[in-house]
Homo-oligomer: A and B are copies of this chain.
Amino acid sequence: MPSVLQKIIYTGTFLSTPSLDELQVLASHAVGVDEDGVIRHIEHMSDQSDTGIQELAVSWGWGKWEEGKWSCVKGGAGGNSWWFPGFVDTHIHASQYPNCGIIGKTTLLDWLTTYTFPLESSFSSLSKARQVYTACVSRTLSHGTTTASYFATRHVAATNLLADICLEKGQRAFIGRVCMDSDMSPSYYRDESPQQALTDTIATITHIKTIDPTHTLLTPILTPRFAPSCTSPLLTALGSLSAQENLPIQTHISENTSEVSLVASLFPTHTSYAHVYDAHALLTPRTVLAHAIHLTPPERALISSRKSSISHCPISNTSLSSGLCRVRDLLDQGITVGLGTDTSGGYSASILAAAREASMVSRIVAHLTPEEPSAPDPTTTTTTTTVPQTPDPNPKPCKKLSVPESLYLATLGGASCLGLSHRIGNFAIGMDWDAQLIELGTAPDAEGSVAGEGIGDVGGQDRGNTRRVYVRGRLVHERR
């Protein structure tokens, strides 16, 4: 990775979500980023002229403009341009990128056999892998995704290539070789044995250590596909490896009711799906569980107690008719939640699209959730009550996710899932400059935009609004 040569002062308006439901707006500010891409200064600028910027740099000990030791990137003026933290995609299958939008009327289990396994198996071809992974990383960067937790395929060479491409293009990434040794996977696409799966996984870990020894950008992540794809010996081995090497883990859980039944039949001695993972030491504070739609209250409590986190993938969940994830229940239980595009269960590689759908799905959940009953009027209370007799462990109404809440999940929430909330997902001194410059009204055909227009149609969907993207101070995408 080339080092960033200069200190840079970024100016303009800085938006971020430092906590759930808090949208922070720092207007007329300057952020000073050092040669390592780390934020060293955040200051209000009373004087935004070049002179004011120079005075600021001098006050920071950066020297005068003419000494050439720093440069300045202005984030535009007015209400149509701002800096925002880079997006964190906590669940994306890079190898499935070519299948975006191809689902038909399938649901999870037949979708896997119809569309997904045939595609993934083709990554035995390195040229195919290079084409798809290059496209996927370029595209996610263009959507402002500065960090992605990738499922690759079970191929070592192709998975290593994904790591190479992320490093070259400058995207922060968790790279997972997919482990799948059970006979639930087709014979043409599965690991030969638990031992082989482990050996192959270690080969990718070694490669990533070789190309990024400090793990500045790249982190290997253990990736049992999901419980039905793995034998118990493989799950045990991965749990041990995670503990020995302090490695993060990613997998799927409770995405689909048929899948939940399948797990119950495959692992009959375990109490629940979550308990299957827990029994194999796979529920750790570094574990990211994708979907988690149909968890029972005891499963939620178990996940919460293990401090594992959940990747909410609303576009995928709706596309595959998997169900409605009750995100508010998860948050209320203290579970860390981030967002995943789940390409290609989800049709879009954009976390902003996922954030929008998270808000949309929560509004459907709100509609389907009866309001909390008012406290009974004591003067009319009788011994025969009409309150439902079924005990409800979560009696609060499942409220809508606001726009700031969805954006928090898309940034700092995702960073928290991946154990990176001290480095990315927000703007603060000591954190890395993983950021995107948003400019409304500069996309083609923007003649229709008017002042005061809401964020929906303008800011939401056009990638063209993402003007520049930085990871650890390096410019990794620029819209021409």
A79 at the B interface (CB under 8 A): no
CB of B138 within 8 A of CB of A347, answer no
Contact of A457 among B322, B347, B449 (CB under 8 A): B347
Stretch at the interface among A25-33, A381-389, A439-447: A439-447
Instruction: A42 to B176: give the CA distance in the assembly, Å.
Output: 52
CB of A462 within 8 A of CB of B460, answer no
Instruction: A104 to B405: give the CA distance in the assembly, Å.
Output: 12
Instruction: A453 to B101: give the CA distance in the assembly, Å.
Output: 8
CB of A363 within 8 A of CB of B456, answer no
Q: A364-B364, A367-B322 are in contact. Are A464 and B464 (CB under 8 A)?
A: yes
CB of A450 within 8 A of CB of B135, answer yes
A264 at the B interface (CB under 8 A): no
A448 at the B interface (CB under 8 A): yes
Q: A98-B453, A363-B319, A455-B101 are in contact. Are A136 and B448 (CB under 8 A)?
A: yes
CB of A400 within 8 A of CB of B321, answer yes
Instruction: A399 to B360: give the CA distance in the assembly, Å.
Output: 21
Say which size band chain A's interface belongs to: 35 or more
CB A350 to nearest CB in B, in angstroms, measures 7
Q: A364-B318, A445-B479 are in contact. Are A98 and B138 (CB under 8 A)?
A: no
**What are the interface flags for A292-320 relative to B under an 8 Å C-beta threshold, 1 for contact and 0 otherwise?**
00000000000000000000000100111
**What are the interface flags for A170-197 relative to B under an 8 Å C-beta threshold, 1 for contact and 0 otherwise?**
0000000000000000000000000000
Q: Which positions 445-480 of chain A face chain B at CB distance < 8 Å? A: 445, 447-450, 452-464, 477, 479-480
Contact partners of A321 in chain B: CB under 8 A: 363-364, 366-367, 400
Contact of A448 among B139, B318, B324 (CB under 8 A): B139
A223 at the B interface (CB under 8 A): no
CB of A463 within 8 A of CB of B444, answer yes
Contact partners of A462 in chain B: CB under 8 A: 461-464
Instruction: A125 to B226: give the CA distance in the assembly, Å.
Output: 60
Instruction: A400 to B456: give the CA distance in the assembly, Å.
Output: 26
Contact of A324 among B104, B364, B463 (CB under 8 A): B364
Contact partners of A320 in chain B: CB under 8 A: 363
Instruction: A222 to B477: give the CA distance in the assembly, Å.
Output: 50
Contact partners of A132 in chain B: CB under 8 A: 450
CB A347 to nearest CB in B, in angstroms, measures 3
CB of A348 within 8 A of CB of B457, answer yes
Contact partners of A464 in chain B: CB under 8 A: 443-445, 462, 464
Contact partners of A131 in chain B: CB under 8 A: 450
A421 at the B interface (CB under 8 A): no
Contact partners of A461 in chain B: CB under 8 A: 348, 350, 353, 461-463
Contact of A135 among B349, B366, B449 (CB under 8 A): B449
Instruction: A444 to B480: give the CA distance in the assembly, Å.
Output: 7
Q: A444-B463, A445-B142 are in contact. Are A453 and B97 (CB under 8 A)?
A: yes
Q: A367-B323, A455-B101 are in contact. Are A447 and B479 (CB under 8 A)?
A: no
23 cross-chain CB contacts under 8 A: A97-B453, A98-B453, A100-B453, A100-B454, A100-B458, A101-B456, A102-B455, A102-B456, A131-B450, A135-B447, A135-B448, A137-B448, A139-B448, A139-B457, A318-B364, A319-B363, A323-B367, A348-B457, A348-B460, A357-B360, A444-B444, A444-B463, A445-B464
Residues of A within 8 A of B (CB): 97-102, 104-105, 131-132, 134-139, 142, 315, 318-324, 343-344, 346-350, 353, 356-357, 360, 363-364, 366-368, 399-400, 402, 443-445, 447-450, 452-464, 477, 479-480
Query: With contacts A97-B450, A101-B457, A353-B461 known, what are 5 further pairs, Cβ within 8 A?
Result: A105-B399, A139-B457, A319-B360, A368-B368, A444-B444
The 4 A-B residue pairs whose C-beta atoms are closest, nearest first, are A101-B456, A347-B456, A101-B454, A139-B448
